[in-house]
Amino acid sequence: MTLPPPRRYMPKPDPVDPPGVPARRAALRLLDAVLRQGLPLEAAIGRATAGIERSDDRALAHAIAAEVLRRLPDLDALIDSATKTRLPDDAKARFALRIALVQALSLGTPPHAAISTVLPLVDGGPRKLVHGVFGTISRGGDQLPEQPTLPDPVAIRWHAAWGDDGIEAAERAMAVPPPLDLTLADPATTAAMADALGGVSLLPGHVRLDSAHVPELPGFEAGSWWVQDIAASLPARLIGAGPGSVLDLCAAPGGKTMQLASAGWSVTAVDSSESRLARLHENLERTQLTAEVIVADLLLWSPPAPVDAVLLDAPCSATGIFRRHPDVLHRVRPSQISELAALQAKLFARAADWVKPGGLLVFATCSLEPAEGEEQLTKFLAARADYSLVPITPEELPVGMTPNPGGWLRTLPGMIDPGGNDGFFIARLRRTA
Ligand SMILES: C[S@@+](CC[C@H](N)C(=O)[O-])C[C@H]1O[C@@H](n2cnc3c(N)ncnc32)[C@H](O)[C@@H]1O
């Protein structure tokens, strides 16, 4: 007779979850990845939702986690108001309560469903506490504020840089889902595409829609447009039309590569990430646009000859895209901003050597940190007498955006109203002949 293995060697069975619970369990894993491990939300989604078959459950997990990240300081304030002893930031009970409360108070889930699908996450643990705190808050009729509150470290940084108005605009931007901005492959089709898609155009070659399911919109399969926030479309627009040779540095997944290719440039797109370049290849295939694509570390790679124009969309903290990626509000630390700023300065200096005399260099970051924008430009201009700014003019920008009197562009969240825009820094420079 064979004996069963001793109990301690038995593998722990996966919990058999009732319907609705797997999505909440995945949301918990996503929040753990962002808040405890410091990973980007998008990088964690594959692993956190592995094993969940239904795409709507995966989408729900993402939606819950993203809304918790948008609402975190307000959710935590509610939880703290209902507990005698403050729960540690990383307590599982706090994570479970955040997930239950955000559903009931922000996502329209009936309270009994919000709590019953979360309690299994704390089975064998603080179930009673979670149930009790959720009940206290629900019975008290507390609501989340209309506008989400920024986490303190971000609010302090952005207040120093952009003042009360900047904070107010950022919080207002988080209160509503961002619109869907499309860049058109052929600007001549702007009016027709705006009509066909039921959107509005804020610039030639741009259409803005309320959020929609992208692959189902007319023109997606045909490659007539790609998704790109209007602020993200400006760096390539500011280079103007080809012909000529252009280096698109830090190019993946290729929004700006496609803009430059469709504007008549002969584009060389360089990026160090093979997986992100795979998406660039897919994008080029769908839009039938062409570019030479090179996988390389730009700290080591150099082009064979100088080019007419260079676009450097430098790696950054990405704090300017907090509306769609609220994880940046919680995981980006000042030390990371400094490290990224040092990398940007190196890439900026290298890129500047690859421009022909008389050619253009555009430097851009999707960051709301002056260290990744204004301060980079000041240092660059002090070091490079062979470059001067080509001032960006209001006529080149959508209504609501104005360039800085110094000639560069700083986009802040609420500049375009309604709908808003991402936070970018953009400077256009010419190398002296
Ligand atoms: C802001 S994203 C680029 C977005 C892209 N320009 C677009 O419009 O779709 C920054 C990119 O820099 C790339 N990157 C970071 N460090 C790099 C390096 N040392 N060399 C080359 N690419 C790098 C990342 O892989 C990432 O794709």
> How does pLDDT run across 311-328, given as a tens digit for each residue?
999 999 999 999 999 999
Please check whether residues 248 and 362 belong to one and the same domain: yes
Give residue 353's pLDDT band: very low, low, confident or very high (50, 70, 90): very high
Cβ-based neighbours of 218, under 8 Å, separated by 6 or more? 196, 197
The residue from 85, 120, 140 where one domain ends is 140
* Percent above pLDDT 70 for the chain: 97
Answer yes or no: is 146 within a domain.
no
Residue 15: predicted pLDDT: 63
Residue nearest to atom 12 of ligand 1 (CA): 250
Q: Does 205 reside within a domain?
A: no
Mean pLDDT of 383-407: 98
**Confidence class for position 433, pLDDT limits 50, 70, 90:** confident
Q: With respect to residue 394, please indicate whether it lies within any of the assigned structural domains.
A: yes
Which range of residues forms the domain containing residue 422? 230-431
Ligand 1 site residues, Cβ closer than 6 angstroms: 250-256, 271-273, 276, 297-299, 313, 315, 366
The answer on whether 255 is annotated among ligand-binding residues is yes
Q: Is residue 241 a part of any domain in this protein?
A: yes
256 is in an annotated binding site: yes
Is 89 annotated in a binding site? The answer is no
Q: What is the pLDDT of residues 25-38, one digit of tens each?
A: 999 999 999 999 99
CA distance linking residue 294 with residue 291, whole number of Å: 10
Domain closes at, from 111, 140, 169? 140
256-282: average pLDDT: 98
Based on the structure, what is the number of domains in the chain? Answer: 2
List the catalytic residues: 366
Whole-prediction pTM value?
0.94
How large is the average pLDDT for residues 225-239?
98
Mean pLDDT of 375-386: 98
Residues 269 and 135 in one domain: no
- Which numbered atom of ligand 1 lies nearest the CA of 347? 19
- Domain boundary, last residue among 94, 115, 140: 140
Q: Does 140 count as an annotated binding residue?
A: no
pLDDT of residue 415: 96
Side by side, which strands form the sheet with 206-209?
Answer: 206-209, 180-184, 225-227
Asked whether residue 23 is domain-assigned, the answer is yes
Mean pLDDT over all residues of the chain? Answer: 95
pLDDT band at 11 (very low <50, low <70, confident <90, very high): very low
The confidence band for 427, taking pLDDT boundaries of 50, 70 and 90, is very high
Q: What spatial distance separates the first Cα and last Cα of the chain, rounded to whole Å?
A: 90
- DSSP lists the bridge partners of residue 182 as 207, 227
**Confidence label for 14 from pLDDT (cuts 50, 70 and 90):** low
pLDDT given at position 2: 52
Is residue 402 included in any domain, yes or no?
yes
53-102, pLDDT tens digit by residue? 899 999 999 999 999 999 999 999 999 999 999 999 999 999 999 999 99
Which of the residue ranges 10-19, 192-201, 214-223 has the most confident prediction, judged by mean pLDDT?
192-201
Ligand 1 atom, smallest distance to 254 CA: 9
Q: Same domain, yes or no, for 234 and 125?
A: no
Residues 388 and 288 in one domain: yes
- pLDDT band for position 13 (50/70/90)? very low
User: Residue 186: its pLDDT value, please?
Assistant: 97
Q: What is the mean predicted confidence (pLDDT) over 346-370?
A: 98
What percent of the chain stands above pLDDT 90?
93
Report yes or no on 208 lying in a domain: no
Whether 1 maps to a domain, the answer reads: no
Pocket test for ligand 1, best of 246, 248, 250, 260 (most atoms within 8 A of CB): 250
Quote the pLDDT of residue 6.
Answer: 47
Give the number of other Cβ atoms within 10 Å of residue 409's Cβ: 25
Question: For residue 312, how far is its CA from the centre of ligand 1 (angstroms)?
Answer: 9
The beta-strand segments (E) located in 85-148 are: none
| Closest CA relative to residue 178, chosen from 326, 35, 396, 46 | 326
Whether residues 402 and 276 fall in one domain = yes
CATH number of the CATH domain containing 119: 1.10.940.10
Same domain, 247 and 357: yes
Q: What is the ipTM of this complex?
A: 0.99
**Angstrom distance (rounded) from CA 252 to CA 44:** 19
Q: Exposed, middle or buried by CB within 10 Å (0-12, 13-18, 19+), for 392?
A: buried
C-alpha torsion sign, points 377, 380, 385, 387: negative
Instruction: Say whether both 258 and 391 belong to one domain.
Output: yes
How many angstroms is it from 315 CA to the middle of ligand 1?
A: 5
CATH of residue 238: 3.40.50.150
- Output the CA 297–ligand 1 centroid distance in Å: 10
